[in-house]
Structure 1
């Protein structure tokens, strides 16, 4: 699998970008040239230079350091929200697809209600009700993405449950739980993994929206969205305050989308053909 991905230029580029974002998130204290919250009143809104490669903001804080530390919030929100949505949505889709009848109707109608709302709007409503914080942003984004995984898992389960080896297991007396976890789940994971990589990019954008509107991670923790919000008032005097966090969001989203496309080509024979 990794070797195949590396032979695909798009996937290799995406993997390199994702690795860089992950490295920035994990090793931010080692990579950042300065404390992201330390002001320097002698270098207020200094343009990019050798001393500050990305310049400084209105408080003299090093923008490069804040961009590097901002990767932490994006990666945390993306990882935990997508993992939570994947777990809940996959379980719901497996049960709905295998059980059928009223169980399927109840689960999928619930998913349809959630899916009926625009994802950004639903995330905004949940964040506004729960309050602005990292855990609440994770929960809001996870709830938005649960129906996506549930629909995919249900559709795949409907196909797998009629295959001969699943029918044989039912004939030998295996229970639904055993069949779902040991047989059906491994056979439906490929499209779910691809969707998870694509929704990671969506989660980063949604977190940036929430932070931009003040409903995500709160200051003084730097996030790319909050940096863009702070840059609005200084676009004429210091445009670099918006350039670099915006470029970070663009690069991260591009990386996960390229990686997702590569995974889809590798895991889905129909697309690969």
Structure 2
């Protein structure tokens, strides 16, 4: 059984204590969301799709946040929504980065023709608004989770490609990269050993921002009915299912919407702090 070394724990606590309050707040929020996502089956009183009452029951001791349009417990759905929405968004962002960063590094390292072909292909994909393109592709390929992840990852990889190519080109012309080429190092070696380590902080920060955008896009698609499909819990579809309660002054629809907004803000706060730390800037 592996144990985290005490020095690693102390280092992590020290970095947390040294971070500004905004970053600490963001990290605490992200940690709470992750715990809820991981422990959702143990924290909730009912099943994810279990109908336990009548539709739109008010908040009570039995249903702390009421029920939705089908009589499912809202508290349970919100907890499982964290697992589904965050998990799918993370996998989608990871896949988008795998595609976009690899293509961006290749465009900056290989021949000019490689750069031109990849850049023009990305230009074509980026010329169509992302949400409209996603709606079109999902209507063609279906709304299963693999299709949703693949479509959004490919579309979002174009943004990752642009950033990776821009920062990698700046590094690819530096002296130590030219020396590696003169030594006869292969392009893949140059990409992974010379260029990638020097642009990693920028890519890590962009990963956090991309995660927020992907997370919001998935929620928007679910709100429109072509994202994560029922009975799977998702915050976007939960806003749609309970939206009618706003007309009666019930704040229940604002709960999943607030969960979406809070996570997006928390991630951005942590990313801002990471960028400042990586760039050597200090908060006043």
TM-score between both structures, scaled by the size of structure 2: 0.89
The one of 65, 83, 91 equivalent to 2:102 is 91
Q: Structure 2: how far apart are the matches of 1:245 and 1:80?
A: 21
Alpha-carbon distance, 1:164 to partner: 2.1
Query: Are 1:244 and 2:258 matched, yes or no?
Result: no
* 1:171-218 CA distance string (max 9 Å, x none): 211111111112211111111110110111111111111111111111
Aligned to 2:138: 127
The one of 108, 111, 114 equivalent to 1:103 is 114
Alpha-carbon distance, 1:25 to partner: 1.4
Task: Trace 1:1-273 onto structure 2 (pairs within 5 A).
Answer: 2=12, 3-4=14-15, 6=17, 7-41=19-53, 44-237=55-248, 239-269=250-280
Q: Structure 1: how far apart are the matches of 2:195 and 2:125?
A: 25
Alpha-carbon distance, 1:4 to partner: 3.9
* 1:104-127 CA distance string (max 9 Å, x none): 111111111122222222222222
Q: How many residues align?
A: 272
Alpha-carbon distance, 1:271 to partner: 8.6
Q: Structure 2: how far apart are the matches of 1:58 and 1:177?
A: 54
Alpha-carbon distance, 1:85 to partner: 0.9
Q: Please, what is the CA RMSD of the aligned residues? A: 2.0
Deviates more, 1:117-126 or 1:220-229: 117-126
TM-score between both structures, scaled by the size of structure 1: 0.92
Greater length-normalized contact order (CA 8 Å, ≥ 6 residues apart): 1
Q: Structure 2: how far apart are the matches of 1:219 and 1:239?
A: 23
Consecutive unaligned residues of structure 2, counting only runs of 5 or more, are 1-10
Does the 8 A contact of 2:126 with 2:158 survive in 1? Answer: yes
Alpha-carbon distance, 1:40 to partner: 2.5
Q: Structure 1: how far apart are the matches of 2:61 and 2:114?
A: 63
Alpha-carbon distance, 1:89 to partner: 0.6
Does the 8 A contact of 1:47 with 1:238 survive in 2? Answer: no
Q: Structure 2: how far apart are the matches of 1:228 and 1:160?
A: 45
